Structure 1
Amino acid sequence: MATTERYRVPETLPILPLRDAVLFPDLVMPLVVGREKSIRLIDDALKGDHIIGVVTQKDAQVEDPTPSDLHEIGVAALITKMIRMQDGTLRVIVQGLTRIRIRELVALDPYFKARVRVLYEDYSPSVELDALMQQAKELFEKLAEMVPHISSDLVNVVRNIDHPGRLADVIAHSLRSVTTDEKQEILELVEIRARLERIIYILKKEISIIEVRQKIQSEVKNEIDRTQREYWLREQLKAIQKELGEYDDRQTEVEEFKEKIENAKMPEEVRKVAEKELKRLQKMHPASAEYIVSRTYLEWLTELPWSVETEDNLDVKHAAQVLDEDHYDLEQVKKRILEYLAVRQLKKDMKGPILCFVGPPGVGKTSLGRSIARALGRKFIRISLGGVHDEAEIRGHRRTYVGALPGRIIQGIRRAGTRNPVFMLDEIDKLGVDFRGDPAAALLEVLDPEQNFSFSDHYLEVPFDLSKVMFICTANVTHTIPPPLLDRMEVIELPGYTDDEKLHIARGFLIPKQLDNHGLKPEQLEFTDEALLTIINSYTREAGVRNLERQIANIARAVAKRIVEGALEKEVITPDNVATYLGPPKFFPESAERTAKPGVATGLAWTPTGGDIIFIEATRMAGKGNLLLTGSLGDVMKESAQAALSYIRSKASQYGIDPDVFLNSDIHIHIPSGAIPKDGPSAGITIFIALLSLLTGKNVRPDVAMTGEITLRGVVLPIGGVKEKILAAKRAGIRHVILPERNKADLDEIPAHIKEGLEFHFVKEVDEAVAIAIGPLEAAAGFVIPPKPGEMPAQEFPKEVH
Structure 2
Amino acid sequence: MAPENPLEEKDKTDFPAVPEDALILLPVRNLVLFPGMVVPIHIGRDSSILAAQTAIRNDRQLGIILQKDPEEDVPSGQEELHEVGTASNILRYVTSPSESHHIVCQGEGRFRIRKMLDGYPFLVAEVDRFPETNEKDIEIEGRMVQLKQRAVEILQMTPDVPQEIADSMLNISSPELLSDLLTGLIDISPEEKQRVLEMPDLKERMDNVLKMLNYRLEVLRVSRDIDKQTQERLGDRQREALLREQLKTIQHQLGDNDSGNSELNDIEKAIAKAKMPEEVETHAKKELNRLKNMPEAAGEYSMLRTYLEWLIELPWSIASEDQTDITKARKQLDQDHYGLEKIKRRILEFLAVHKLNPKGRSPLLCFVGPPGVGKTSLGQSIAKATGRKFVRVSMGGVHDEAEIRGHRRTYLGALPGNIIQALRRAGTNNCVMLLDEVDKLGTGVHGDPAAALLEVLDPEQNNSFRDNYLSVPFDLSGVMFVCTANMPDTIPGPLRDRMEMIELPGYTEEEKAQIAERYLVKRQVQANGLNTKQCRITKRALHEIINHYTREAGVRNLEREIGSVCRNVAVQVAEGIVESKKIDVSDVHRILGAPRFENEVAMRTDMPGVATGLAWTPVGGDILFIEASRVPGKDKLTLTGQLGDVMRESAIAALTLLKARAVSLNLEPGLFENSDIHVHVPAGAIPKDGPSAGVAMFLALTSMMMNRPILADHAMTGEISLRGLVLPVGGIKEKVLAALRAGIKTVMLPARNKKDLEDIPDDAKKQLKFVWLETVDDALKEALAAERRAGKTRKAK
Query: What is the aligned partner in structure 2 of residue 372 from structure 1?
Result: 382
CA displacement 1:35-89 (0-9 Å, x = unmatched): xxxxxxxxxxxxxxxxxxxxxxxxxxxxxxxxxxxxxxxxxxxxxxxxxxxxxxx
CA displacement 1:609-664 (0-9 Å, x = unmatched): 00011111112222222212111111111111111111111211211222222222
Q: Which moved more, 1:623-632 or 1:635-644?
A: 623-632
Q: TM-score, normalised by structure 1?
A: 0.67
Q: CA deviation at 1:438?
A: 0.2
The answer to whether 1:311 aligns with 2:324 is no
- Separation of aligned partners in 2, 1:656 and 1:240: 112
- Separation of aligned partners in 2, 1:392 and 1:498: 42
SS of the aligned residue for 2:697 comes to helix
The answer to whether 1:768 aligns with 2:766 is no
- Separation of aligned partners in 2, 1:668 and 1:382: 50
Q: Which moved more, 1:438-447 or 1:313-322?
A: 313-322
Would the alpha carbon gap of residues 511 and 714 (structure 1) be closer, same or farther in structure 2, given more than 3 Å must change?
same
Q: Which moved more, 1:612-621 or 1:678-687?
A: 612-621
Q: CA deviation at 1:668?
A: 1.4
Instruction: State whether residues 352 and 467 of structure 1, in contact with CA within 8 Å, keep that contact through their aligned partners in structure 2.
Output: no
The residue correspondences of 1:331-480 to structure 2 (distance < 5 A) are 331-351=341-361, 353-480=363-490
The answer to whether 1:528 aligns with 2:552 is no
Q: Pick the aligned partner of 1:728 from 707, 719, 738.
A: 738
Query: What is the aligned partner in structure 2 of residue 553 from structure 1?
Result: 563
- Separation of aligned partners in 1, 2:98 and 2:749: 97
Q: CA deviation at 1:745?
A: 1.4
Q: Which moved more, 1:744-753 or 1:275-284?
A: 744-753
The answer to whether 1:752 aligns with 2:762 is yes
Q: Pick the aligned partner of 1:655 from 649, 652, 665.
A: 665
Would the alpha carbon gap of residues 530 and 224 (structure 1) be closer, same or farther in structure 2, given more than 3 Å must change?
same
The answer to whether 1:504 aligns with 2:514 is yes
Would the alpha carbon gap of residues 220 and 676 (structure 1) be closer, same or farther in structure 2, given more than 3 Å must change?
same
SS of the aligned residue for 1:294 comes to helix
Q: Pick the aligned partner of 2:289 from 279, 283, 287.
A: 279
- Separation of aligned partners in 2, 1:221 and 1:486: 61
Amino acid across the alignment from 1:617: E
Is there any run of 5+ residues in structure 2 with no aligned partner, and where? 1-96, 100-228
Would the alpha carbon gap of residues 706 and 776 (structure 1) be closer, same or farther in structure 2, given more than 3 Å must change?
closer
The residue correspondences of 1:184-223 to structure 2 (distance < 5 A) are none
Aligned residue pairs total 568
Query: What is the aligned partner in structure 1 of residue 646 from structure 2?
Result: 636
The answer to whether 1:268 aligns with 2:274 is no
The residue correspondences of 1:116-135 to structure 2 (distance < 5 A) are none
Q: CA deviation at 1:130?
A: 8.6
SS of the aligned residue for 1:756 comes to helix
CA displacement 1:115-150 (0-9 Å, x = unmatched): xxxxxxxxxxxxxx999xxxxxxxxxxxxxxxxxxx
Instruction: State whether residues 711 and 786 of structure 2, in contact with CA within 8 Å, keep that contact through their aligned partners in structure 1.
Output: no
- Separation of aligned partners in 1, 2:656 and 2:414: 63
Would the alpha carbon gap of residues 774 and 252 (structure 1) be closer, same or farther in structure 2, given more than 3 Å must change?
same
Would the alpha carbon gap of residues 375 and 795 (structure 1) be closer, same or farther in structure 2, given more than 3 Å must change?
farther
Instruction: State whether residues 352 and 471 of structure 1, in contact with CA within 8 Å, keep that contact through their aligned partners in structure 2.
Output: no
Amino acid across the alignment from 1:556: C
Is there any run of 5+ residues in structure 1 with no aligned partner, and where? 1-128, 132-218, 779-791, 797-802
Would the alpha carbon gap of residues 269 and 383 (structure 1) be closer, same or farther in structure 2, given more than 3 Å must change?
same
SS of the aligned residue for 2:511 comes to helix
Would the alpha carbon gap of residues 277 and 689 (structure 1) be closer, same or farther in structure 2, given more than 3 Å must change?
same
Amino acid across the alignment from 1:619: S
State the superposition RMSD in angstroms: 2.9
Instruction: State whether residues 771 and 794 of structure 1, in contact with CA within 8 Å, keep that contact through their aligned partners in structure 2.
Output: no
Query: What is the aligned partner in structure 2 of residue 713 from structure 1?
Result: 723
- Separation of aligned partners in 2, 1:762 and 1:508: 36
Q: CA deviation at 1:794?
A: 10
Instruction: State whether residues 775 and 794 of structure 1, in contact with CA within 8 Å, keep that contact through their aligned partners in structure 2.
Output: no
Query: What is the aligned partner in structure 2 of residue 568 from structure 1?
Result: 578
Query: What is the aligned partner in structure 2 of residue 259 from structure 1?
Result: 269
CA displacement 1:479-503 (0-9 Å, x = unmatched): 0001100111111111100000000
- Separation of aligned partners in 1, 2:351 and 2:623: 40
Q: CA deviation at 1:567?
A: 2.1
CA displacement 1:456-492 (0-9 Å, x = unmatched): 1001111101111011111001000011001111111
CA displacement 1:672-717 (0-9 Å, x = unmatched): 1111100011101101101111111111011111001112221111
- Separation of aligned partners in 1, 2:437 and 2:627: 36
Q: CA deviation at 1:238?
A: 9.7
Q: Which moved more, 1:575-584 or 1:600-609?
A: 575-584
Q: CA deviation at 1:351?
A: 4.3
Q: TM-score, normalised by structure 2?
A: 0.68
SS of the aligned residue for 1:775 comes to helix
Would the alpha carbon gap of residues 760 and 220 (structure 1) be closer, same or farther in structure 2, given more than 3 Å must change?
farther
Would the alpha carbon gap of residues 235 and 566 (structure 1) be closer, same or farther in structure 2, given more than 3 Å must change?
farther
Amino acid across the alignment from 2:293: K
Amino acid across the alignment from 2:627: E
SS of the aligned residue for 2:272 comes to helix
- Separation of aligned partners in 2, 1:506 and 1:539: 14
Amino acid across the alignment from 2:771: H
- Separation of aligned partners in 2, 1:240 and 1:510: 69
Q: Pick the aligned partner of 1:619 from 606, 629, 633.
A: 629
Q: CA deviation at 1:339?
A: 2.3
Amino acid across the alignment from 2:298: S
Query: What is the aligned partner in structure 2 of residue 94 from structure 1?
Result: none
Query: What is the aligned partner in structure 1 of residue 28 from structure 2?
Result: none
- Separation of aligned partners in 1, 2:462 and 2:381: 24
SS of the aligned residue for 2:411 comes to coil
Query: What is the aligned partner in structure 1 of residue 76 from structure 2?
Result: none
- Separation of aligned partners in 1, 2:722 and 2:689: 19
Amino acid across the alignment from 1:257: I
Query: What is the aligned partner in structure 2 of residue 329 from structure 1?
Result: 339
Query: What is the aligned partner in structure 1 of residue 606 from structure 2?
Result: 596
Query: What is the aligned partner in structure 2 of residue 685 from structure 1?
Result: 695
CA displacement 1:223-251 (0-9 Å, x = unmatched): 97553233357679999999xxx999442
- Separation of aligned partners in 2, 1:677 and 1:556: 37
SS of the aligned residue for 1:666 comes to strand
SS of the aligned residue for 2:664 comes to coil
CA displacement 1:754-784 (0-9 Å, x = unmatched): 3222222221211111111111899xxxxxx
Would the alpha carbon gap of residues 249 and 635 (structure 1) be closer, same or farther in structure 2, given more than 3 Å must change?
same
SS of the aligned residue for 1:540 comes to coil
Amino acid across the alignment from 1:492: I
Amino acid across the alignment from 2:709: N
- Separation of aligned partners in 2, 1:567 and 1:707: 52
Query: What is the aligned partner in structure 1 of residue 3 from structure 2?
Result: none
- Separation of aligned partners in 2, 1:583 and 1:270: 63
- Separation of aligned partners in 2, 1:289 and 1:249: 23
SS of the aligned residue for 1:774 comes to helix
Would the alpha carbon gap of residues 795 and 412 (structure 1) be closer, same or farther in structure 2, given more than 3 Å must change?
farther
- Separation of aligned partners in 2, 1:311 and 1:352: 18
The answer to whether 1:668 aligns with 2:678 is yes
- Separation of aligned partners in 1, 2:774 and 2:792: 21
Amino acid across the alignment from 1:546: R
Instruction: State whether residues 354 and 362 of structure 2, in contact with CA within 8 Å, keep that contact through their aligned partners in structure 1.
Output: no
